[in-house]
Structure formats: structure tokens, C-alpha cells
Amino acid sequence: MISTICMNPSFDKTVDVDSLKTGQVNRIKNVRMDLGGKGINVAVVARRLGLAVQCIGIMGKDGSAELSDLMDREELEHHFMEIPGHVRTNTKIYSRDGQGVTELNEPGTVVSEENLQAFFQLAKEKTKDSDIVVLTGSLPPGCPEGTYCELMKVLDGKKCILDTEGKELEKGAKGAHPYLIKPNLREMEATLGIELRTMRTIRDAALLFIQLGVEHAVVSMGEMGAMYVSAKKTLFAPALRVETKSTVGAGDAMIGGMLLGYEKEKDMARAFRYGIAAGAASVMTEGTQLMLRSDFERLLDQVKIQEV
């Protein structure tokens, strides 16, 4: 069993406009509502790829029934602690004229220290049969700096995958030594406070985290591809040439793909190839829709891995 953690779930609302005009009235052409929250996204992708997975989280009571129903439709096992408040809605505005996607993300329901400690115990209980736990996504208001680090300590003995940025990534790497981190290039730059413009600087940045005790690091770089780094090797995978409809959720799909690869290969470096295929499959879907298994299977043999 694989567990994912989602402490700030959402409804992801995607709206299409011909051309986004700020400060003016915009006529919406199409609307869709999907599950949201990175931990949920990873779990849904893993489930679609045939893995035994559950999502554990915390959410506001208002909207909880609707969110649970959407997870049930995905046949996703889930265990969420409810607190006073509401499930947030994140709005993605897709401009058909090529401007890209504008995201408006709500902060989420405030959690108290009491809520947090109760959730830690829930997570510890529900992950007792899990070898791998994925911690990813934004934290709700009220969480102190280093929350993911403290949660990983509570989950001592689990292979933790951490996908976050800034102080949460820094503190998590130093204090809890996750099995794998998966920042994208922007997140890595923001965490370290430097620009990374060459393959060597990106590799060296990832090695900084390896030196802190992280076992594996994957840095996704959009159109530049992705890099895998461990103490023993560095791998690079060029981006697959696919029609990009939306990059929302691509990083989550990459983790889901790597989870499948790890289950099959029992080696994270070899699992890297599966992550590349899943990330590419994700960008082929519109808005906040998640990856389709058929796209993933078609792309897997097209992935090219180079040792750096």
C-alpha cells in the first residue's frame, strides 16, 4: 500500500475564455470542476496506473461530502479528518489565445495546533501498512514552518517522498532526510535563492540536498526535460514531444508514474523513466484533468534516458 498526504485539498475549477482581459468583463466559454490538491492528484494517478494507494488528509466540513464523492468516483481509498471550515476552490483561467493559464488559489481552512497533532496521529495510524508515503502540496494556514519535517519524523521508518519548496523543502531535507524530493526548476531556484541555468548547476543544486541526507532527487524542468540525481549517478531525460494542453498536475503525475516504476523495478533510478512518461501524458489533457493510462503506456517506450 502507498499513502499520499493531502493537507490542503481543493476543488479545481477550470474556466475557458477567448482572451483574458484584466480589469474587464470576461465571458466564460466552458467550465469544469475536478478534484484538487497535489496529494489527491498523485493518488488518483497511482490508482489509474493500477497501484494500491490511499490518500490521507484534512479538510473543512463544508464541501467535504462533495469532495469525498469525487474521490469515490475515482475508486480512491481516502481517510480525511474534518475540521470547521470549507474546502477551498482553486480557479484556473485558460486563455484560448495562447496567454496560458492564470491560477487563482484560495488559502484553505485554518488549522489549529490541536488539529495538527490529531492529524499527525491519524497519518501515523493509517500509514502503518505503507512502505512509501508521499507528502506534497501547499499547507493550510496555521501550519508552522517545518510541518512536513515534523510529520516525516512521526512517520519514522517510512520511505517519504517530499514534493514542496522553500523552507518546507529545506527543513524537511535537513531534519528528516526524505527518500526522494521532486522540486521543479522554479521551486529549486526559489528554495536556494539562485538562478540555475545550466545542467551542471542544476545537478550541483540537487547534490546539495543529497549531501543533507536525501537519497534521490528529481528536478522537473518543463520543456528542458528532467534530471535524476543520487550520490551514485546523474540521469537526464529530454522532454517528450507531445501536444501540450495544460501543465497543471504534470509534476503530480510524474510522482505517480515513478511510484509505478519503483514497484516494478525496485530501483528509483529505473523508475525515473516511468515518471517522465506519466508527466508527458499529463500535459496532453486539458485544464485540471489528470493523466490517462492509455497515453502513459503509449509514451513509455519513447522515453530516452542519458547518463550525465
In CATH terms, the fold of domain 39-58+110-307 is UDP-N-acetylmuramoyl-L-alanine:D-glutamate ligase (3.40.1190)
- Rounded CA-CA distance 114/155 in Å is 18
Nearest to 248 by CA among 102, 30, 76, 71: 102
pTM of the model: 0.93
Q: What is the pLDDT of residue 287?
A: 59
Long-range contacts of residues 145-149, Cβ cutoff 8 Å, at least 24 apart: 145/171, 146/171, 146/172, 146/175, 147/7, 147/116, 148/172, 148/176, 149/174, 149/175, 149/176
pLDDT tens per residue across span 28-38: 999 989 899 99
Walk along the chain (308 residues) and give the pLDDT tens digit of each residue. Answer: 999 999 999 999 989 999 999 999 999 999 989 899 999 999 999 999 999 999 999 999 999 999 999 999 999 999 999 999 999 999 999 899 988 889 999 999 999 999 999 999 999 999 999 999 999 999 999 999 999 999 999 999 899 999 999 999 999 999 999 999 999 999 999 999 999 999 999 999 999 999 999 999 999 998 899 999 999 999 999 999 888 776 777 899 999 999 999 999 999 999 999 999 999 999 888 756 788 899 999 999 999 999 98
CB 232 within 8 A of CB 194: no
Q: What is the pLDDT of residue 288?
A: 60
Domain boundaries, the chain: 39-58+110-307
pLDDT tens per residue across span 232-274: 999 999 999 888 776 777 899 999 999 999 999 999 999 999 9
6: helix, strand or coil: strand
Q: What is the pLDDT of residue 283?
A: 86
